[in-house]
Amino acid sequence: MPRQLHLSAALDSPGRLDAGHYAALARHAERATLDFVTLDDSFAAEPHRPDALATLARIAPLTGRVGLVPTVTTTHTEPFHTSISVNTLDWASEGRAGWLVGVSTTEAEARAFGRKPAAAEDELWAEAADAVEVAARLWDSWEDDAEIRDTATGRFVDRDKLHYIDFAGPHFSVRGPSITPRPPQGRPVVTVPVTAADLAPDASPGGRARVAAAIRHADVVLLDAPDRATRLTAATELRLRAGENLRILARLDASLSALPDRAADERLLAELTATGTGVDGFHLAPADPLRDLAALADRIAPALRTAGLLRTGYPGRTLRDHLGLARPASRYAARPADAPAGAPATGDLSTSAPSTAAPALAEVTR
């Protein structure tokens, strides 16, 4: 039986600021049983577009299964606040949130904040890697059963199950714990964009730093490669360095038509059904999102299901379920009594030592 594809799509629609437009796009993506949708964002003045995280939080109750992955930049922002915002989206969507990590590279964006000048891209991605590490620790800083809601004693949380994270790095220091309970997914899905050029021997320092961040933290990589051969080479390199748990989706332009167009449909299907690609699926970039996502749901998805390459429905509720990713345990949770010495908590993906228990107040410095 052929291996089913993981598919996602970009909802980017410059100039459209109404949430209803993005809700309609997400519903088309859900009809096509895509794993998730993304929405780009930055601090640049152009093009005009809505706040990605706020928009996807608005459409979360209007959708039921499709994952919601906004771009959230780590430049000029505080990782503590970012972690809470993405966590809130995970709660609003009942476990369907992801985070497309972005950086802000321009002087114009730096001037908008006035805190520091624009930095080199390698420095920005090193900062982004630390920001994701902080967010993951903060998501883990509440154990899953930290909320006790004990009305008899007036206790909302078990303070012994909240933990300092004690992160100190070159860009910021964060003590923790978080001020919000652990996300439904444990950790929302972290997604990092990578180009094939970033993996080349002559890659720029920024490209190498972006790959390093992806290898260290990404659950999903959105890979941009110019052709199938380059895509295979880049995907193989990523897989060797990151392991089999990484999901790699290749960026693919999708230009269809409102009415059936056999040639356009067959071109896209040929790309989607090609073998030996080295990737787990594709991240579709529609030329006209409303037109192309409707066509995807009406014509392309049924053809893929007929070929056994796309599921007929969502077997689980969370984005991790869609991607076949396990829910990680908190790195600070107590180890099972029968676990061997030094073993991580069940499902834990980190070897970080647990911090001491902390009061339910956040302490953040930068």
- Exposed / middle / buried, residue 300 (Cβ in 10 Å: 0-12, 13-18, 19+): buried
Q: Where are the alpha helices (DSSP H) in 19-160?
A: 19-31, 52-59, 79-92, 107-113, 121-140
| Predicted TM-score of the model (pTM) | 0.91
Pairwise CA distance, residues 329 & 158, whole Å: 17
Coil/strand/helix, residue 253: strand
- pLDDT value, residue 46: 83
- pLDDT value, residue 335: 65
- pLDDT value, residue 337: 55
Pairwise CA distance, residues 318 & 321, whole Å: 5
- pLDDT value, residue 1: 61
The answer to whether the beta carbons of residues 298 and 75 sit under 8 Å apart is no
Per residue of the chain (366 residues), what is the pLDDT tens digit?
678 999 999 999 999 999 999 999 999 999 999 999 999 999 998 889 999 999 999 999 999 999 999 999 999 999 999 999 999 999 999 999 999 999 999 999 999 898 889 999 999 999 999 999 999 999 999 999 999 988 888 888 999 999 999 999 999 999 999 999 999 999 999 999 999 999 999 999 999 999 999 999 999 999 999 999 999 999 999 999 999 999 999 999 999 999 999 999 999 999 999 999 999 999 999 999 999 999 999 999 999 999 999 999 999 999 999 999 999 999 999 766 555 544 445 434 333 333 445 543 333 322
Amino acid at the residue 326 = A
Pairwise CA distance, residues 30 & 32, whole Å: 5
Q: What is the CA radius of gyration of the chain?
A: 21
Percentages of the chain per state (helix, strand, coil), in multiples of 5: 35, 20, 45
Q: At what angle do helices 79-92 and 121-140 cross, to 10 degrees?
A: 60
The answer to whether the beta carbons of residues 323 and 220 sit under 8 Å apart is yes
Paired tokens of 111: 């001037």
